[in-house]
Amino acid sequence: MIKENNIYKPEDKGGKELFSMIIYRPIANIILIRFLKDSSLTPNMVSVISLIMALIASYLFYLHDYKHLIIGAFFLHMAYFFDVMDGQLARYKNMSSQFGRLFDATLDVVKVAFLFLAISSGIYMQTHNPLVLILGFIALSNAFLTFYMMVGKRLFMQSDSFAVKLKGNVYVGYEISLYLIITIFALINNLYIGLLFLATLGSLGWIKIFINMYGIHIKSKRTADR
């Protein structure tokens, strides 16, 4: 029989993601144990639910009035909650697989793509400023590069991906960082500045991973040459 605490990762190699640890995982734990443990729901189904929540959030951001931005931010975090839930469910039912991880990572890219397209096109429809579309493209490119390198590191290097390290082994992950930035600028009703922020400083994510990957490559090359 599967122990209920199996839905927690024993000790993640890269540490513990702060917001998942203190907010999303505990709530997911309660819902899973009380309602989902005997259901026919699979982790991939939960991943699709996460995608649907993100698409709803994207549409609300496209509408781009303050009321819809607030509701959109709520659905965005519901999308992240179900993204956490699929991993919890996979561990609880012993259904973790390489395909499931790739499927989840692919949906993450799709969610972010629709999110940036919706935000930039929504702002453009109100302002008719073509710079918004350029910023949206750059922000989306930054996100794609970051996700691509994160998946590459997990699959081929078995090392940590993007993470903002805090104290000890606690960190803030890339995806929740992205959602929090969008949420903050939605709350102050200025997603244009949020888009500008992600287009300029968003490149730090993939640059950090690239430098880390290059360092690992150089280190392994030096070891092989000895």
Closest CA to 123 of 60, 191, 77, 188: 191
Classify burial at 57, counting beta carbons within 10 Å of its beta carbon; exposed 0-12, middle 13-18, buried 19 or more. Answer: buried
What three-state secondary structure class fits 163? strand
Q: How far is CA 45 from CA 10, 59, 81, 83, 214, in A?
A: 24, 21, 14, 11, 36
Give tens-digit pLDDT for 23-60.
888 888 888 888 877 788 888 899 999 999 999 999 99
Residue 4: is its pLDDT beyond 70?
no
Query: What gap in Å lies between CA 143 and CA 146, rounded to an integer?
Result: 5
3-state DSSP call for residue 35?
Answer: helix
13-162+170-225 CATH fold: Four Helix Bundle (Hemerythrin (Met), subunit A) (1.20.120)
What is the DSSP track for 60-127?
Answer: HHHH-SHHHHHHHHHHHHHHHHHHHHHHHHHHHTT---HHHHHHHHHHHHHHHHHHHHHHHHHHHHHH
**Stronger pLDDT, 224 or 28, i.e. the higher one:** 28
pLDDT score for 115? 94
- pLDDT, position 192: 93
* pLDDT for the residue 167: 59
pTM for the whole structure: 0.80
Three-state DSSP state, 128: coil
Q: Where are the domains of the chain?
A: 13-162+170-225
Nearest to 107 by CA among 137, 127, 87: 87
Q: In terms of pLDDT, which residue wins out, 166 or 101?
A: 101
pLDDT at residue 177, rounded to an integer: 86
